[in-house]
Structure 1
């Protein structure tokens, strides 16, 4: 019998991965969609900035997925990301599903189908806890920025578009 019978299959996959990593926070199913940072924050009662949104690009040189885990209030500066990883193109829904393994709106920062180039927005480090998608548009999980760094192995960089 599953410990998480109520979770959709992709969120269940994330729950099992989190358990294997020793993460003790349960996946939360939002009553409304968490497809946008604002929707997720409203459902959780937290600041939009505390949402760790996953933005995926396609690296042109090798067609690799590039994921930026950014603060929910930040727009990602593609030029800053490209300066770190190489020229970028858009990642459509099919590319994200094939490379990462999740549908847009529920893209989790861990458990990807293929090796993903990862970057973490330095602005997330100012929060005690953040919330990340857990493989489904209604599923999220809570973690510290340090846990995010440890789970992904990603460098912390400045990726925000600044006025």
Structure 2
């Protein structure tokens, strides 16, 4: 399957959208001249609230990669992830593990369309908006989607794993 260069999405992610029957999202992909690698950069580029950005973060859970989808304004509480999965040890995955698992570099990891299937946890905070924005496979591209649809496409389980604010 070939992708249209004007979509801006990473070819693997564009192919995943087509395979999932989500071709209509391709024209929605927005490419920016400046990086949207961080949630703050993405929110500034899109012109949305920080919490409307969906971060796709890979953690090593007892040595196995697990994807955690988190709103851009929050941080993942590693202890809550550990408890949720009944794991011994949870750490941030190293860059090479992220690329090997997902097929994408940190800062451009989309919520689905990965090289390998992984367990996916999605924080409930994502459901607080009508639309959220996530990486489209590169550090310069994002796409909008309804949060519940995004979580469903990612095969995510809804959990509460964000850091509690005092």
2:14 aligned residue: 15
Inter-CA distance 88–43: structure 2 relative to 1 (3 Å threshold): same
| CA-CA distance at 1:20 after TM superposition | 2.3
Q: Deviations over 1:96-154 (max 9, x none)?
A: 11112110000111122222111111011010000111111001111111111220121
Question: Aligned-pair RMSD on alpha carbons?
Answer: 1.7
Matches within 5 A, 1:27-66: 27-60=29-62, 63-66=63-66
2:128 aligned residue: 126
2:112 aligned residue: 110
Secondary structure of the corresponding residue to residue 151 of structure 1: helix
Q: TM-score, normalised by structure 1?
A: 0.91
Structure 1 contact 57–65 (Cα < 8 Å) conserved = yes
Gaps of 5+ in 1: none
Gaps of 5+ in 2: none
Q: Deviations over 1:65-86 (max 9, x none)?
A: 1111100000110001111121
Structure 1 contact 31–43 (Cα < 8 Å) conserved = no
